[in-house]
Amino acid sequence: MADTVVPSQLPELKGRNAYVSSPSGLRPAKETTFREWVVANQIGISLTTLSMLLALHNLYPSLRPYTQPFFQLSYYNESSNSYIQGWNDVYFVISAAIALTGIRAIAIEWVLQPLARAYGLKRKQSVRFAEQGWQAMYYSFIWGVGLYLWKTSYYWGDFAAMWSQWPARPLSGLMKWYLLVELAFLVQQIFVIHVEERRKDHVQMLSHHIITSALLSSAYIYAMYNVSNVVLCLMDIVDFLLPSAKILKYSKFETACNVGFGLFMGTWFITRHIIYPMVCWSVYYDLPRELTYGCYAGSTGEFISAEAPNSFAYMLGPYFSLDNPICFNPTLKWMFLSLLLFLEGLSIVWFSMIVRVAYGVVCGGNAEDTRSDEEDEAEVEDQTASHVPAHLAARDGAPTDAIETGNPPGLDRRRSNGTASVRARGLGRVPFDPSDRKALLGRIGCEKPT
């Protein structure tokens, strides 16, 4: 007869762990955190949200003025066949970020991970292969769009021309779509790095995404589409080449990976440390010479006043209404330039670490740990409570990462399904630790055969 729990026994059972059966015996049941649930259900959450918006749009015509901005670009001028900015663009960015989240999850879980598994990669490598594959897919497409817009523009090869027509408010549909999708991708990336496994360079990446988002949104509102297009093109080509080189690494094409990594380093240096500083110089030197400081009518772009108001309120005027005057003066120039130079500073820090790792590989130094991928895999999968003191391992069934890092259970788990724990990362470790070369090499370069 099955055991029966009487009410008097309930207090004794309150503090006990729940156990589930497994091939290796009884194990503590693991609670799923909200973040793990979000990671595991990105496809369902994204598709459900977009489906609900689409259903409201089609079933209730009276709501279409409110739902339409989620699905198409707003503020179209039929007479000039162009668009302008407005607050409804925020809704398009939101829906695009949700769509990108779903597309990314579908590409990783349904296409790239099965492809990696079919190729013979292990679980850990297949997840990394899929993540890099998505990055390569997105950046190859969006960089192509941006390069087309730049190549067919009047400012191709002439940075001074970027400022000659400011403040021209109208922009083409393709340019508007391109800038808003890029902004949506940055928003989606901020979401991803918070809900998925925290990387060693979390602070640097978060700073980069926030600064870039602030720059792109401000430049969009201030009608600086041209410089946004150029800067994004210079950044995106590098973000395409690095994942491509890493895909070759996971595919065991070591020679091709080394060639791709060399191409990535050369392109990084040219685009981010030669051409990008030229753009910054253009902001400093060409901008005051090509446009006249002062205030312009927001809707027509006609010159109003040679001096901007003394208060800072004029800077926020274009954010609230297109009819508000749009002003530009040395203060705004230095604000934009400071943000651009901050991004250049981050690029210098990253590139110095890349060069240091590449130098170690070329010189044949100990650029990586001698353990093979199989050993790394075993280290991940064998991380159980047997390596932890008994009184800690039994505490509420907490996994190792929660005990060693102080984070809630499961916060530092593998990205794909949120079930396999990874090696704990101490909260006090400094990002880009040069001594941790294997992790850095696996993050930015090609590992040597072991």
> Angle between the 173-195 and 202-221 helix axes, to the nearest 10 degrees?
160
Residue 330: its H or E element: helix 330-362
Q: For 405-410, what is the mean pLDDT?
A: 38
Sequence-distant contacts of 200-204: CB under 8 A, at least 24 apart:
200/425, 200/429, 200/431, 200/432, 200/433, 200/436, 200/439, 200/440, 200/443, 201/431, 201/432, 201/443, 202/431, 203/431, 204/346, 204/349, 204/350, 204/431, 204/432
Burial label for 389, CB within 10 Å (0-12, 13-18, 19+), is exposed
Region for residue 293 given its phi and psi (left: phi exceeds 0; alpha: psi -120 to 50; beta: otherwise): beta
- 262 Cβ contact list (under 8 Å, min separation 6): none
pTM above 0.95, yes or no: no
User: Percent of the chain beyond pLDDT 70?
Assistant: 74
The total number of residues shown for the chain amounts to 450
Q: For 329-346, what is the mean pLDDT?
A: 92
Question: Binning pLDDT at 50, 70 and 90, where does residue 446 land?
Answer: low
pLDDT at 162 over 80: yes
What is the DSSP secondary structure assignment for residue 163, as one 8-state letter?
A: G
Q: In which residue are the tokens 């901005």 written?
A: 69
Do residues 188 and 101 lie in contact, with contact meaning Cβ atoms separated by under 8 Å? yes
Distance CA 69, CA 95 (A): 9
Q: How many other C-beta atoms are found inside a 10 Å radius of the C-beta of residue 211? A: 17
User: Percent of the chain beyond pLDDT 90?
Assistant: 52
pLDDT at res. 118: 93
- 102 Cβ contact list (under 8 Å, min separation 6): 42, 43, 45, 46, 47, 50
The dihedrals phi and psi of 346, each to the nearest 5 degrees, come to -60, -40
Q: What's the CA angle centered on 128, arms 204 and 360, to 5 degrees?
A: 65
pLDDT at res. 161: 94
